[in-house]
Chains A and B, each alone.
Chain A
């Protein structure tokens, strides 16, 4: 079931800027910002694989998504 991205929430206070999420993101959605914190620069490229959220050592990323079917029901 295809997932639709609603939001990528990054807790900048917890992010330590290790860059793991940026390096392994298959869609190249993320980049480091001017303060060396993760930033969701291109959310439209996100495939909701959740790997950034699962690989974040700082528990600083939350990918909020909806299943396509759920979206249809609600619309």
Chain B
């Protein structure tokens, strides 16, 4: 199908700012779904609140636009009641790891078959450029005009430690890699996390010496490195991309079915 068959064209042009990376993530996610030939009726996309979460308004699959930080909780309800559906949860960095941080780690721990996409632009864009838990120390934001002293979470390490079965990272510059990782994540049976570094030229870029979306994507190109291309003894300070975890662990809905089956057997 063509890209236009996956979107609600009546809402276009979308409301994201010129050059916003979230549009590129949506573009890549549509390609991933199309390459995998998953029927639109089999997909449920659940989002919370924020610029990133507007994606559920634009993509023409089953969609739920829910509460700030609680997208994963709603998604867990959908998945438990209809385990045969593919549940995809696009979230912003603030949505996923600040107010939604607890949902995030517990969703990873349970290993329910949900794909979480963290569209990380390191800022709260919708509300005016406040720093988020992923801005990182030394960055500037409208609420940190003299510099932010809060260190950032490492989403990959956090997801890994919390028990996610699949953890990967890419950027909006590396689009073909992003599409490939999204396909792997959606195929993975268990909780999968894909962090995608995304640009917010309007707030993060403006506050941090990057004037345009192009500057920010050049930054992703220069300052990230693919895991597969790391020589031994590599020590450069670059953000790594690729698949960090890919393990098959018992999936929550399957385990739940197993408990139901064994309990029912006990009754008879």
Contact assessment for A19 and B19 in the assembled complex, using a CB-CB cutoff below 8 Å: yes
Min CB–CB distance B41 → chain A (angstroms): 22
| Chain B positions within 8 Å of A58 at CB level | 13-14, 23
Complex CA distance for A42 and B24, rounded to whole angstroms: 24
* Tally of chain A residues near chain B (CB < 8 A): 18
Interface on A for B, CB 8 Å cutoff? 13-14, 16-20, 23-24, 51, 54-60, 62
Q: Map CB proximity to A onto B8-26 as digits: 1 under 8 Å, 0 otherwise.
A: 0000111011111111101
- Can you show 24 pairs from A to B with CB atoms below 8 A apart? A14-B12, A17-B18, A18-B18, A18-B19, A18-B201, A18-B213, A19-B212, A19-B213, A20-B214, A23-B214, A51-B175, A54-B28, A54-B175, A55-B27, A56-B24, A56-B27, A57-B18, A57-B19, A57-B23, A57-B27, A58-B13, A58-B14, A59-B4, A59-B7
- Contact of B22 (CB < 8 Å), options: A23, A24, A57: A57
| Chain A positions within 8 Å of B212 at CB level | 18-19
| Chain A positions within 8 Å of B214 at CB level | 18-20, 23-24
A23-B214, A54-B28 are known contacts; what are 16 more A-B pairs with Cβ within 8 Å?
A14-B12, A16-B17, A16-B18, A17-B18, A19-B212, A20-B217, A55-B27, A55-B217, A56-B24, A57-B19, A57-B20, A57-B21, A58-B23, A59-B3, A59-B12, A59-B30
| Ranked 8 nearest A-B pairs via Cβ | A57-B23, A18-B19, A16-B18, A54-B175, A18-B18, A14-B13, A23-B214, A18-B213
Complex CA distance for A16 and B213, rounded to whole angstroms: 12
